[in-house]
Amino acid sequence: MAELGVYAGLGGRASGAVLEPPGKRHASGAAAAGRPVFEGPVPSEAPSQGWTGSTGGDGKSKIVVRDFTARFSGKPVVRGLNQEVQPRERLAIIGPASSGKTSFLRSLNRLNDLNPEFAHEGKILLDGQDVYDPDMDVADLRRRVGMVYAVPVPLPWSIHDNLVYGLKLAGVRGRYTLEQRVEAALKGAVLWDEVKDRLAEPAYNLSGGQQQRLCLARVLALEPEVLILDEPCSGLDPISTGKIEDALLELKTKHSIVLVTNNTKQAARASDRTAFFLMGELVEIGPTADVFTRPRDQRTNDYLVGQFG
């Protein structure tokens, strides 16, 4: 099961696992005026000071982060982080390079543990349980919190085998069950109609955008509760990017989604809430419409209009 934990985090690169084949709004006017841009509905009221942007619901957050600090070789890359991820929401994380976005993302399912220089303080609670609790099953955690990376790396097998490999590691048996999970995952990644007659073909035959959606499907096949994506559209064309965003909109009905993106327009389009990170700290978090039209912190405004980053 330890190998499954690594595979469950595999969206764009392997993390040391030895793999065997299974079975043999335009920014011009607004930015010039020093105002951020939002491609969506404008809220009727500004949020109250200090509000964290909770979506409400039953009041039970999927993920709760409390006073979390991540360090590598003693140097903090994320400092004193406090935030929540709600069930069935898309949370975008934006910020310039070296803001701690990816390090935070990899802390959610303990992929940072693969680096011996990593240390942490504080807590990250998944459904109330600290993911760093000694009793936490890390392999199961990485199945529950599945990650997709910026660069897609299909396994060197067929499209079909890319999907069933993780399922077989997880103990899923029965051809009918496997085929159902493969089809559901490809449909969830908006890829089924494009590859349903090509499942036996090598995955490397797919275009870059299709490969990225295959990596998304590979994670979805394991039926995670939370999807974390690290700049999944950074190397994709607009059409492929749109398909990924369409998939995330549909997937949020069943999953909590955390999306790191350097594209502020994508954050405006493809999220319900947005968090702004700067130099390892959470500067601001709230509904995307509010963050993009009425940022509470001047640093957020400056980043959105392109004064730095």
pLDDT at 25: 37
Q: Where does the pLDDT of residue 59 fall: very low under 50, low under 70, confident under 90, or very high at 90 and above?
A: low
pLDDT at 27: 40
DSSP 148-202: E-SS----SSBHHHHHHHHHHHTT---HHHHHHHHHHHHHHTT-HHHHTT-TTSB
**Is residue 32 situated within a structural domain?**
yes
pLDDT at 224: 96
Name every residue whose Cβ is closer than 8 Å to that of residue 1 and which is 6 or more positions away in sequence. 137, 139, 140, 169
Which percentage of the chain shows pLDDT scores above 70? 81
Compute the average pLDDT of residues 148-162: 94
For 130, list phi and psi in degrees, rounded to 5: -70, 120
**Is residue 94 situated within a structural domain?**
yes
Compute the average pLDDT of residues 246-250: 94
Output the domain CATH number for residue 15: 3.40.50.300
Name every residue whose Cβ is closer than 8 Å to that of residue 23 and which is 6 or more positions away in sequence. 168
Q: Taking each helix axis as running N to C, give the angle between helix 175-188 and helix 159-169, from 0 to 180 degrees, rounded to the nearest 10.
A: 120
Look over the chain and give the mean of its residue pLDDT values, rounded to a whole number: 85
**Is residue 126 situated within a structural domain?**
no
Q: Of 308 and 209, which is predicted with more confidence?
A: 209
pLDDT at 309: 72
Neighbours of 223 (CB within 10 A): 18
Compute the average pLDDT of residues 260-285: 96
pLDDT surpassing 60 at residue 15: no
**Is residue 65 situated within a structural domain?**
no
Neighbours of 154 (CB within 10 A): 21
Q: Which residues of 161-195 are buried (b: 16+ CB within 10 A; e: fewer)?
A: bbbbbbbebbeeeeeeebeebbbebbbbbbbbeeb
pLDDT surpassing 60 at residue 69: yes
Domain count across the chain: 1
pLDDT surpassing 80 at residue 19: no
The DSSP H or E segment spanning 269 is helix 264-269
Q: Of 283 and 2, which is predicted with more confidence?
A: 283
pLDDT at 235: 86
| CA–CA separation, 263 and 183 (whole Å) | 31
**Is residue 100 situated within a structural domain?**
yes
The residue segments making up the domain with residue 167 are 2-43+85-118+134-304
pLDDT at 8: 44
Residue of 82, 37, 26 whose CA lies nearest to 291 = 37
Q: Where does the pLDDT of residue 9 fall: very low under 50, low under 70, confident under 90, or very high at 90 and above?
A: very low
CA 84 to chain CA mean position, Å: 14
The DSSP H or E segment spanning 138 is helix 138-144
Residue of 307, 271, 308, 309 whose CA lies nearest to 292 = 271
Q: Where does the pLDDT of residue 308 fall: very low under 50, low under 70, confident under 90, or very high at 90 and above?
A: confident
Compute the average pLDDT of residues 121-150: 95
Neighbours of 297 (CB within 10 A): 13
pLDDT surpassing 50 at residue 102: yes
- Residues 146 and 140: beta-carbon distance below 8 Å: no
Residue of 256, 303, 259, 282 whose CA lies nearest to 62 = 256
pLDDT at 67: 97
pLDDT at 190: 95
| CA–CA separation, 96 and 134 (whole Å) | 34
**Is residue 21 situated within a structural domain?**
yes
Q: Taking each helix axis as running N to C, give the angle between helix 238-251 and helix 175-188, from 0 to 180 degrees, rounded to the nearest 10.
A: 120
pLDDT at 1: 39
Compute the average pLDDT of residues 154-160: 96
**Is residue 160 situated within a structural domain?**
yes
**Is residue 157 situated within a structural domain?**
yes
